[in-house]
Amino acid sequence: MTTSDISSNSEAKISTPSRSSTSSANVTKRLQTELMSLMMSSPPGISAFPNDENLLQWTATIDGPDATPYAGLSFKLSFEFPNTYPLTPPTVLFKTPIYHPNIDFSGRICLDILKDKWSAIYNVQSVLLSLQSLLGEPNNASPLNGQAAELWDKDPVEYKRLVLARHRDDEETGLGSF
Amino acid sequence: MSGPAYTPTDEELAHLQKLSSEFEPEVTGPLVGERQSSSAITTEYANADPVYRVKTAALPSKYSHYRTCRGDGHCGWRAIAFTYFEALLRLGDRNRFLEEETRLRSMGNLLNSIGFQEHLYEDFADECFDLLRKTESLVSAGNDERAAAELLASFNDVGVSMAIITYFKLLTSAWIQTHPNDFAPFLDLGQDIRQYCSTQIEPSVCEIDHVGMSALAEVLVKQAGFALEVLYLDRSAGEEINTYRFDPVSNDGLPLHNPPTLRLLYRPGHYDILYKMEDVQQPAIPQAPLHVALADYADEFVPMPTSRGMSDVMSLIPGMYPTGLGQNWPSVSYDYNPSPIPQPQMAAVPTYTSVPVPTTSQEYVNTAHHNVPLESPVGMSLNPPMTIERGGPFRPSMYELEPGFQSNHSQSLPFQTSIFRNSHYNTAHFLNPDFQPEEWSPDSEYVTGSRSRHKSASQ
């Protein structure tokens, strides 16, 4: 929960009251089912798997969609699930540096379904698919990265250059180096 | 530093702005509170705007109790979910729990059909079914009090409470999406149904809006044979709180007669739960003896002069027998309790208070079957109006002099048991189509009058 500053207030609203003892069991069960269904049939271009022993922390990968400045690039993300998941959203961060109007330089994402529009029927897969489409369709009305929002329409060539300049391959980044 | 000339610096303004944008109204208190007298609401508004004062002053006499819901952005959903369970509990029929579980399970197809994946919602649905079963087993063990406590405790468990709310939200969303023609006209212009549901219904944190409430009333409340009544307490003109009802209909499209009703109090941005006096009666011994009560009624149907000088002719009017309009009739109607719609004549269903409660005000003959509401809320006195009704201001109706009315009435009585379900104060009103209790007495007008006006709402 290092990004509590960006996570919505609503999250706190739900999680503050004392929870039932069953809820963490529910999280585990739910995440196990999600993992299972991801492994059985993962849509192309996305993958996710829990870190080591901790089922509440996952690492995921999405491939940049074709016909976008991100085509051919792949991005790692971290998922951290609260005990109240799926009633509250996971904390999702881009671990691979990315140049995008709705993602800041720490990898924090501005996406409504990860905040106030989170619904309990979303899951890892739907979040990854949403993020994938966010890459190709940024919301330039409320950018975290103003320059990127501006360049997206104005100067696609420069935009693409900055995307590539910012991108680092996994070997160079190393997860958790932030 | 706080003089009129003081102007805050930019930093201070920024700080205040930050405080203000981070401000959240207090969200303490239980998720669902204990039932309490609704006179607390009146007290709360005693120093408020006159519009509120007038409107809330009238509240306790019609809605004797209320229950708070925590204003955490889920209160509308939670209030309906809780009262739904409570209405089932009030019916006290274990079969209804099973029926509801079956009905809700069958709606899995509805959820699947609009693309919700079963493994994503089954936990929430199971939580709901678990609570239905838990309550059912306590009810069938005759332990209604524990069932009520269990219900309250479960809804105060965030995990259970939120799971059930989430499940109901998904049902609501599925219902809206499968009935687009019913709801599309109420959305913002050009808003897509799917988009509406994903931003206004499905999010974990989103308060119920009117469209959502209509859909939830359809999918959950009305199909269970319940009605939903929402009282809007706002600053609109008028002395009465505006009421909106969602009424169930039977299979043939006719409105159900006197359905169990979930009642909510809406104050801008917040929902609480309301109860009428008859909702509060503890369900007791299931088969409150229908015929005993009827016999009782017939026995009492004897003109009997009272010390108050009531004329014989007065006692010819149904309900005007000496035992008192307001006291005896309620007991009858409680015994008959509003039964659930599907089997309206089943005596075993919801029974209110068959425990005879000795009352201090009984100076009349037949006390054995008197059931006076257990607690009178402040501002609601049952006795004074009756006294007055028998007094001077009474305006006789044409029926009171009609010979033979009494005998007719007594004969037909056993076949008209459904009338008792309408109103415990004004049952007589139904035997006399032109009978208008409101006009009897200015002083009694309040209690009796309001009840009769809302007779369809009173169960």
Task: Mark yes or no for CB contact A14/B162 under 8 Å.
Answer: yes
Q: Quote the tokens at residue B147.
A: 């069932």
Q: Quote the tokens at residue A88.
A: 């509250």
Lowest mean pLDDT among A117-126, B25-34, B237-246, B297-306: B297-306
Length of chain A: 178
Reported as a pLDDT band with limits 50, 70 and 90, residue B426 is low
Reported as a pLDDT band with limits 50, 70 and 90, residue B441 is low
| B162 vs A29, A87, A117: nearest CB | A87
How far is it, in rounded angstroms, from Cα A139 to Cα A116? 16
Query: Which candidate, B335, B417, B415, places its Cα nearest to that of B368?
Result: B335
pLDDT digits (tens, 9 = 90+) for B271-288: 999 998 888 765 444 444
Q: What is the ipTM for the molecules in this complex?
A: 0.77
pLDDT digits (tens, 9 = 90+) for A35-86: 998 988 888 899 999 998 889 999 999 999 999 999 999 999 999 999 888 9
- Whether the upstream peptide bond of residue B60 has omega within 30° of 0, thus cis, is no
Sheet holding A54-63, edge to edge: A46-51, A54-63, A74-80, A91-94
User: What's the confidence (pLDDT) of residue B412?
Assistant: 42
User: What's the confidence (pLDDT) of residue B185?
Assistant: 87
Active site residue A98: no
How far is it, in rounded angstroms, from Cα A53 to Cα B332? 65
b/e string for B217-246 if b means 16 or more Cβ within 10 A?
bbbbbbbbbbbbbbbebeeeeeeebeeeeb
Q: How far is CA B264 from CA A108, A110, A153, B244, in A?
A: 41, 37, 50, 10
CATH number of B28-279: 1.20.1300.20
Q: Quote the tokens at residue B348.
A: 């075993």
Confidence check: pLDDT of B302 > 80: no
Tell whether the torsion through CA atoms of B384, B389, B390 and B392 is positive or negative. Answer: positive
Task: Mark yes or no for CB contact B117/A121 under 8 Å.
Answer: yes
Q: Nearest CA to CA, how far is B124 from chain A (Å)?
A: 9
How far is it, in rounded angstroms, from Cα B212 to Cα A78? 35
Which residues in chain B touch residue A120, judged by CB atoms under 8 angstroms apart?
A: 120-121, 124, 166, 202, 204
**Given the residues A38, A110, A114, A135, the one annotated as active site:** A110
Query: Which candidate, B252, B118, B72, B283, places its Cα nearest to that of A11?
Result: B72
How far is it, in rounded angstroms, from Cα B419 to Cα A53? 66
Task: Mark yes or no for CB contact B73/A116 under 8 Å.
Answer: no
How far is it, in rounded angstroms, from Cα B230 to Cα B347? 29
Per-residue H/E/C for B382-436: CHHHHHHHCCCCCCCCHHHHCCCHHHHHHHHHHHHHHHHHCCCCCHHHHHCCCCC
Q: Quote the tokens at residue B161.
A: 């409470």
Query: What SS3 state is found at A119?
Result: strand
Confidence check: pLDDT of B459 > 80: no
Percent of chain B with pLDDT over 70: 58
Do the beta carbons of residue A39 and residue A110 sit within 8 Å? no
Confidence check: pLDDT of B293 > 90: no
Asked if B121 is an interface residue toward chain A (Cβ–Cβ < 8 A), one would say: yes
User: What's the confidence (pLDDT) of residue B144?
Assistant: 87
| B159 vs A26, A30, A37: nearest CB | A26
Q: Nearest CA to CA, how far is A176 from chain B (Å)?
A: 29
How far is it, in rounded angstroms, from Cα B100 to Cα B88? 9
Lowest mean pLDDT among B98-107, B146-155, B254-263, B448-457: B448-457
Which residues in chain B touch residue A13, judged by CB atoms under 8 angstroms apart?
A: 24, 27, 72-73, 205
| B72 vs A13, A30, A87: nearest CB | A13
Q: What is the mean pLDDT of residues B360-386?
A: 43
Nearest chain B residue to A121, by CA: B120
Which residues in chain A touch residue B163, judged by CB atoms under 8 angstroms apart?
A: 26, 87
Q: Quote the tokens at residue B265.
A: 């109090």
Q: Quote the tokens at residue B438.
A: 């409101």
Query: Which candidate, B240, B67, B90, places its Cα nearest to that of B155?
Result: B67
pLDDT digits (tens, 9 = 90+) for B389-411: 444 555 656 555 555 444 444 44
Which residues in chain A touch residue B166, judged by CB atoms under 8 angstroms apart?
A: 87, 120
pLDDT digits (tens, 9 = 90+) for B122-149: 989 999 999 999 999 999 888 888 999 9
Asked if B164 is an interface residue toward chain A (Cβ–Cβ < 8 A), one would say: no
pLDDT digits (tens, 9 = 90+) for A89-115: 999 999 999 999 999 989 999 999 998
Lowest mean pLDDT among A143-147, B129-133, B431-435: B431-435
